[in-house]
């Protein structure tokens, strides 16, 4: 495997949204990975902290649940370019509802809510590189 080819691979990975690449050529295996910087939550998706006006309140805490990335890829908030997001902060979703899309190896995979709830946080911006297991959405139980 020549050095020019390896350099082109490094440049490709650095410019692309993929976080990991493994290739075998001429009996030589190369694995490149980079740690993607966590995307900053967009202003509309930042969850406001709970503020209690009565510090002695015995109200039970609000149950929250995370919807996680099922695989490594590029996260999209809408189904196709130019469409509105599939889910936004404040939306009430039902179990099985599509809330996002992950692209991995030119294959698009839907991300579904695995329970009902209200979206209180979206952890990544549109077109962000995510790893398998990353939290994509935080839901609040409807109670």
Which pLDDT score is estimated for 24?
A: 75
Tokens of 71: 């695989």
Beta bridge partners of 60: none
| Residue with the larger pLDDT of the pair 1 and 81 | 81
Tell which phi-psi region holds residue 90, choosing left (phi > 0), alpha (psi between -120 and 50) or beta.
left
Q: How many other C-beta atoms can be found within 10 angstroms of the C-beta atom of residue 16?
A: 11
**Residue 29 confidence (pLDDT) above 50:** yes
* pLDDT single digits (tens) 88-133: 999 999 999 999 999 998 889 999 999 999 999 999 999 999 999 9
Region 53-73: what's the mean pLDDT?
A: 74
> What is the pLDDT confidence band of residue 64, given thresholds at 50, 70 and 90?
confident
How far apart are the C-alpha atoms of 116 and 93, rounded to whole Å?
5
Which pLDDT score is estimated for 2?
A: 67
Position 53 in a domain: no
Q: Given the structure tokens 């009430």, which residue do they identify?
A: 92
Print the domain residue range for 14: 3-33
Position 82 in a domain: yes
How many structural domains does the chain have?
2
Give yes or no: residues 25 and 89 share one domain: no
């Amino acid at each position: 495997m020549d050095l020019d080819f390896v350099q082109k691979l490094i440049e490709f990975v650095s410019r692309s949204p993929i976080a990991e690449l493994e290739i075998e050529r001429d009996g030589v295996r190369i694995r490149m990975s980079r740690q993607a910087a966590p995307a900053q939550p967009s202003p509309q998706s930042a969850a406001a902290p709970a503020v209690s006006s009565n510090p002695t309140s015995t109200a039970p805490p609000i149950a929250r649940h995370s919807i996680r990335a099922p695989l490594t890829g590029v996260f999209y908030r809408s189904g196709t370019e130019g469409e509105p997001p599939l889910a936004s902060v404040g939306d009430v979703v039902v179990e099985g509802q599509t809330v996002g899309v992950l692209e991995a190896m030119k294959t698009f995979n839907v991300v579904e809510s695995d329970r009902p709830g209200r979206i209180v946080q979206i952890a990544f911006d549109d077109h962000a590189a995510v790893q398998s297991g990353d939290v994509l959405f935080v839901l609040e139980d409807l109670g």
